[in-house]
Amino acid sequence: MKLSEVTLSHHYADLGDAFGTRIEPTPFQHPKLIHVNPAVLQLLGINKSEAQNPDWAQLGCGQKLFPGSRPFAMKYTGHQFGVYNPDLGDGRALLLGELENGGRRWELHLKGAGKTPYSRFGDGRAVLRSTIREYLAGEALTGLGIRSTRALSIVGSDEPVVREQIESGAMLIRVAETHVRFGHFEYFFYTKQLQALQQLIDFICRRFVTDATELPVGDQAEALLRFTTRRSAELVAGWQAVGFAHGVLNTDNMSIIGDTFDYGPYGFLDDYEPTFICNHSDHTGRYAFEQQPGVVLWNLNALAHAFSAFVSVEALRDCLEEFQPQLIDAYAAQMRRKLGLQTAEDGDQALCADLLQLLTDASADYTLFFRALAHYRGERPPAALRELMPPAQHDALERWLDHYDQRLAREHSDSRERNRAMLAANPKFVLRNYLAQKVIDAAAEGDYRPLQTMIELLQKPYDEHPQHETWAVAPPESGKHMPVSCSS
């Protein structure tokens, strides 16, 4: 379809006044179109050639609305760093409406669109830096096969926005099958709006848990909790397997359908460091990389509590007990793929744990190590792998490789085939922080070419892209542990 043919519907806003506030965006005066994502256009059923349409500058900053659009700020609450906050909601983003394509519905959400009744002390804006980071992260995780919201467009402006320093404002259209968070359910539960809570459970079940559609609310809530538990277990297994740290796993940043949602000070691991904390205001490491599985379960507990209006505690506990085995299974399956194992053996978990311990001791680059392992054919000395760690670890590396060789021999692994499969499971390119910063610095100077290159690499992270070798190397020492501000 052409851009001019797009008409949005607005089922979420139609749920009623209890769900949020109808409000118009505050557009930029001088919008500057920075990027339109052809891959997302395709998802929406809009012709890719429409990426060139100049109307995006206005559509992407609220100067012009899509036909049928009914901008709406959603109300939600949530637990932030373990503490319930009743004052949350779309403080700077508006649900514009939704579009159906090929049986799937996609919501468009304009982030940075100005103040709403839920802005508290905020200015309702987003900055170019955080907008680019969100855009890149959506492509990075999608490219790695992990569920994520994505961005359709970025529009910049000359509007100054005050953060630690003065930055320029930007807006992003975020696309997701739903923007409903755990915190939406918590809001209705804690304010005792049980009719609205029931309505929301029914709304989400009709879209995503269709076999629960006709059930009574208690059974719907239980089915939904099972669904979200499974999706969340798969999600966090994916993060742990690729080395992604979200940074702010509050319940208002948790999608009910298990998308990676609300990007802030996230980070991909460079060196393998389980205690990695990407959010510099997370002083206790609540959201450190290795804490993520436990924190996601904590968040599921908070969601389950909101469902206790309709479901017995025993039944809720039953659902939550599925999390751990699902997480372990999903993570084990992904690590087997990364290691090129076709069968499952009892000792695999130990083999994997030993490797991760070695990488931790050696401060080895996580992505580079696995990519090099994808080329391994039993050579001694293992030169390409040795290069990635200090000499003090070389003996431990060879001891681990001996076990790995024995394991491969037991399943008669063919090295050529294994290498091919492993190259499709271990990315060459990940969204390292120093690379994101390089892209942002160039964009701030008006040069969007690095942004374009990064997007292309992240969309196909397993391909070689030989002309872009410099994007696949470990960061310089100064590029590790770059402070990432949580202001956005």
> Where in the sequence numbering do the catalytic residues fall?
252
Alpha helix stretches (DSSP H) within 243-277: none
| Smaller CB separation from ligand AMP, 183 or 238 | 183
Q: How far is CA 479 from the centre of its chain?
A: 22
Distances (CA, A) of 121 to 62, 88, 91, 92, 115: 22, 11, 9, 11, 10
Structure tokens at 484: 């990432």
10, 35, 79, 92: residue in contact with ligand AMP (rule CB under 6 A): 92
- Is 219 one of the annotated binding-site residues? no
Build a one-symbol-per-residue string for 231-270: x at contacts with ligand AMP by CB under 6 A, - elsewhere. ---------------------xx--------x-x------
Give the three-state DSSP class for 194: helix
- Is 399 one of the annotated binding-site residues? no
Task: Please list every residue from 362 through 421 that binds ligand AMP, using CB under 6 A.
Answer: none
- Compute the least distance from the CB of residue 28 to Mg ion, in Å: 22
34, 41, 61, 88: residue in contact with ligand AMP (rule CB under 6 A): 88
Tell me how crowded residue 216 is: count the other CB atoms within 10 A of its CB.
10
DSSP characters over 158-182: EEEEESSSEEEEEEEEEEES---BH
Contact call for residues 217 and 307 (beta carbons, < 8 A)? no
Contact call for residues 310 and 296 (beta carbons, < 8 A)? no
- Compute the least distance from the CB of residue 79 to Mg ion, in Å: 12
116, 253, 367, 393: residue in contact with Mg ion (rule CB under 5 A): 253
Task: Give the single-character DSSP code of 474.
Answer: P
Contact between 137 and ligand AMP per CB under 6 A: no
Task: Please list every residue from 37 through 66 that binds ligand AMP, using CB under 6 A.
Answer: none
- Is 62 one of the annotated binding-site residues? no
Distances (CA, A) of 217 to 14, 144, 196, 307, 476: 20, 36, 12, 10, 55
90, 139, 259, 262: residue in contact with Mg ion (rule CB under 5 A): 262
Q: Choose the binding region for Mg ion from 24-32, 100-108, 246-254, 423-431 (rule: CB under 5 A).
A: 246-254
Contact call for residues 228 and 300 (beta carbons, < 8 A)? yes
- Of 239, 229, 252, 232, the C-alpha closest to 278 is 239
Size of the site for Mg ion (CB under 5 A): 2
Angle at 9 between CA 5 and CA 15, to 5 degrees: 175
| Smaller CB separation from ligand AMP, 117 or 378 | 117
| Smaller CB separation from Mg ion, 74 or 242 | 74
- Residue 282 interacting partner from ligand AMP, Mg ion, none (CB closer than 5 to 8 Å by kind): none
- Is 253 one of the annotated binding-site residues? yes
H or E stretch covering 135? helix 128-143
- Of 382, 364, 336, 374, the C-alpha closest to 464 is 374
Tell me how crowded residue 147 is: count the other CB atoms within 10 A of its CB.
19
- Residue 273 interacting partner from Mg ion, ligand AMP, none (CB closer than 5 to 8 Å by kind): none
- Of 315, 271, 284, 232, the C-alpha closest to 432 is 271
- Is 91 one of the annotated binding-site residues? yes
- Is 426 one of the annotated binding-site residues? no
- Is 207 one of the annotated binding-site residues? no
Q: Choose the binding region for ligand AMP from 82-90, 191-199, 285-293, 336-344 (rule: CB under 6 A).
A: 82-90
- Residue 123 interacting partner from Mg ion, ligand AMP, none (CB closer than 5 to 8 Å by kind): ligand AMP
- Compute the least distance from the CB of residue 312 to Mg ion, in Å: 31
27, 31, 89, 340: residue in contact with ligand AMP (rule CB under 6 A): 89
Strands 244-245 and 150-162: what pairing? unpaired
Which residues neighbour 219 within 8 Å (Cβ) at sequence distance 6 or greater? Answer: 212
- Compute the least distance from the CB of residue 318 to Mg ion, in Å: 30
Q: How far is CA 279 from the centre of its chain?
A: 15
Q: Choose the binding region for Mg ion from 128-136, 235-243, 253-261, 370-378 (rule: CB under 5 A).
A: 253-261
Give the three-state DSSP class for 346: coil
Q: Alpha-carbon distance 324 to 464, whole Å?
A: 35
- Residue 234 interacting partner from ligand AMP, Mg ion, none (CB closer than 5 to 8 Å by kind): none
For residue 381, is the peptide bond before it cis, meaning its omega torsion is within 30 degrees of 0? Answer: yes
- Compute the least distance from the CB of residue 169 to ligand AMP, in Å: 10
- Is 133 one of the annotated binding-site residues? no
- Compute the least distance from the CB of residue 325 to ligand AMP, in Å: 30
Q: How many residues does the chain have?
A: 488
Q: Alpha-carbon distance 357 to 13, whole Å?
A: 49
- Residue 89 interacting partner from Mg ion, ligand AMP, none (CB closer than 5 to 8 Å by kind): ligand AMP
Beta bridge partners of 109: 95, 174
- Is 386 one of the annotated binding-site residues? no
Q: Choose the binding region for Mg ion from 211-219, 258-266, 332-340, 344-352 (rule: CB under 5 A).
A: 258-266
- Is 395 one of the annotated binding-site residues? no
- Compute the least distance from the CB of residue 89 to ligand AMP, in Å: 5
Task: Please list every residue from 115 through 134 that binds ligand AMP, using CB under 6 A.
Answer: 118-119, 122-125
Binding residues for ATP: 89, 91-92, 111, 123-124, 174, 181, 262
Binding residues: 89, 91-92, 111, 123-124, 174, 181, 253, 262
Q: Contact positions toward ligand AMP, by CB under 6 A?
A: 88-92, 118-119, 122-125, 252-253, 262, 264
Q: Contact positions toward Mg ion, by CB under 5 A?
A: 253, 262
